[in-house]
Amino acid sequence: MALHTAWILGDQLLERHPAVLAAQAPGVEVEILLIESQQRLLRQPYHRKKLTLLLSAMRHYAYSMEARGCRVRYIRAETIAEGLKTYADSHDPDALFTMEASEWRGRHFQHERLASLFQVPVHVLANTQFLLGQHHPFPDVPADRRIRMETFYRDMRKHFSVLMEEDGTPAGGNWNYDRDNRRALGKGITIPDRRRFQPDALTLAVMDEVAQFPEGVGKGEGFDLAVTHEQAAIALETFLDERLAQFGPYEDAMHWQHRLLFHSQLSPYLNIGLLEPMDVIRAAEERYHRGMAPINSVEGFVRQILGWREYIYWQYWRVEPQRWETNTWDAQRPLPSFFWDGDVAMNCLRTCLQGVLEDGYAHHIERLMLLTNYAMLTGLDPMQVNRWFLAHFIDAYEWVMVPNVIGMGLHADDGRVGSKPYIASANYIRKMGNYCSSCSYKARERTGPEACPYNFLYWNFLLEHEERLRAQPRLGPNVLGLRHLDEEQRTAVREQARAYLADLLHETG
């Protein structure tokens, strides 16, 4: 009997995997191949909870596929190539099927090296973890043409008929509800906890194994994430039932004691295949149609997946890898050591960094308006910042972090992804969070010994780049605010920023 092998990558743990489906044929036996690459696991000092999630999910997937009657071969090797060669030498399949990797390095390997390793027909199938596999908006647009996310998002909404009325208009009458989704968290609001999952024996064994890795960041103890499709489905339902309705109004809010708030924390599961994007989108859409969640919350959540997630993936593949190694603002400073230990005086930054070290997670406003905002205002090197994000977050993969950190967060790509730099003073942080009331710095003071560094760094950035920023239509009002600073105030801002940045160089790790 002929043998067809379906090689499934570790971040492609789909229940309906196209490689398995394509490998099936009359008179053919199908075997699923999974490979743990030690080299890949140690490419960066990854967060221990991320490593636990990935390895436990892969091993649970192998057991679940065997339970469904599939033949599964699970190989641990030094490298992916070594694992594939070991398999090819011992099994001699008649054909190999696999799904395109979501990152350049893996996809190049699939297209350029697989055939030489196996000497049999190799079928590299389109990636179905992203809806772009079914729809390619603006296919003829050159890579240097800028397409904004809102334009992309509306095209995706129309094509997949998500939150659309029969007459072709958006549900509720508007394409987005950003203006309704900017509330700070008030008093008396009950914040539900996310669904937690007790580690089973397999996951506990992985945790012990990961603890022995020579390098890694963060804590592995207390791991309680979903590691199976069934658990991920429960996590989704819990979010839809308990937090979706309030997600919209408070999606930009921050709170130093309740860091998840009404966010879903489903991205780790989407990014390794335990959930599929359209399943999640339709489930949220159903809550709107059943009157269980308001349009501003459902649309805001859908936009995160159908808009932002797909848009970031689309941007990642629009250009060659080396074109992301850009540094528009010529930011050169190394990361301060407190990015690895959270030992920094600012309460907001300390809380966020310590949370990342603990859980490998921060919601999108914390990432954008605390972490990359600080990195941009202090001129931290974009490549170093990107590597830090890749190492520390449980949902971090190259396809999402490169355009999101370098493009949207740091605007280092000359505006290919975002239309403006996302920078803000302490005033934004004070309005949208409650960190400032428990901080030694004063959020309302621009300069002086108690002034919040976000303030003088923000105004210094505007002063340093005033001419260039005036050309940014969406930043015009911010730059115009400089007219309220007389020469003495400008000098004070510059001097305090200069001293702070000089001290920062002594805190590099």
Convert the pLDDT of each residue in 274-293 to its tens digit. 999 999 999 999 999 999 99
* pLDDT bucket at 333, cuts 50 / 70 / 90: very high
SS3 73: strand
87, pLDDT greater than 70:
yes
509, pLDDT greater than 60:
no
CATH number of the domain enclosing 118:
3.40.50.620
Query: Are residues 50 and 7 both part of a single domain?
Result: yes
16 part of a folded domain:
yes
- Overall domain count for the chain: 3
415 part of a folded domain:
yes
Query: What per-residue confidence (pLDDT) applies to 369?
Result: 97
Query: Are residues 165 and 278 both part of a single domain?
Result: yes
Query: Are residues 423 and 283 both part of a single domain?
Result: no
329 part of a folded domain:
no
Query: Are residues 402 and 484 both part of a single domain?
Result: yes
SS3 5: strand
What is the DSSP secondary-structure string of 432-456? Answer: H-S-GGG-SSBTT-SSSTTB-HHHH
167 part of a folded domain:
yes
219 part of a folded domain:
no
Convert the pLDDT of each residue in 12-38 to its tens digit. 999 999 999 999 999 999 999 999 999
| Residue finishing a domain among 318, 346, 378 | 318
27 part of a folded domain:
yes
Question: What is the 3-state secondary structure of 131-170?
Answer: HHHCCCCCCCCCCCCCCCHHHHHHHHHHHHCCCECCCCCE
381, pLDDT greater than 90:
yes
Query: Are residues 444 and 298 both part of a single domain?
Result: no
Convert the pLDDT of each residue in 385-396 to its tens digit. 999 999 999 999
Q: What is each CA distance from 266 to 194, 355, 430, in whole angstroms?
A: 10, 17, 27
| Residue finishing a domain among 88, 111, 128 | 128
192, pLDDT greater than 60:
yes
CATH number of the domain enclosing 475:
1.10.579.10
Query: What per-residue confidence (pLDDT) applies to 390?
Result: 97
328 part of a folded domain:
no
**204-217 average pLDDT score:** 94
65 part of a folded domain:
yes
Query: Are residues 268 and 290 both part of a single domain?
Result: yes
CATH number of the domain enclosing 281:
1.25.40.80
472, pLDDT greater than 80:
no
Query: What per-residue confidence (pLDDT) applies to 184?
Result: 93
Query: Are residues 313 and 406 both part of a single domain?
Result: no
Query: Are residues 118 and 142 both part of a single domain?
Result: no
Query: Are residues 230 and 354 both part of a single domain?
Result: no
Query: Are residues 181 and 71 both part of a single domain?
Result: no
Residue with tokens 């960190």: 435
Query: Are residues 411 and 496 both part of a single domain?
Result: yes
| Residue finishing a domain among 97, 128, 159 | 128
Convert the pLDDT of each residue in 45-61 to its tens digit. 999 999 999 999 999 99
Query: What per-residue confidence (pLDDT) applies to 408?
Result: 94
Query: Are residues 267 and 176 both part of a single domain?
Result: yes
Task: Say if CB 211 and CB 242 are below 8 A apart.
Answer: no
Nearest Cα to 125, choosing from 109, 107, 113, 140? 107
Question: What is the 3-state secondary structure of 331-396?
Answer: CCECCECHHHHCCCCCHHHHHHHHHHHHHCCCCHHHHHHHHHHHHHHCCECHHHHHHHHHHHCCCC
**499-505 average pLDDT score:** 92
Instruction: Tell me which of 93-97, 102-106, 191-195 is least confident.
Output: 191-195
Q: What is each CA distance from 424 to 31, 372, 455, in whole angstroms?
A: 53, 11, 8
Task: Say if CB 203 and CB 56 are below 8 A apart.
Answer: yes
SS3 287: helix
Query: What per-residue confidence (pLDDT) applies to 281?
Result: 98
Residue 181: give the domain boundaries.
133-212+226-318
Q: Distance (Å, rounded) from C-alpha 20 to C-alpha 22?
A: 6
Q: Distance (Å, rounded) from C-alpha 449 to C-alpha 493?
A: 12
75, pLDDT greater than 90:
yes
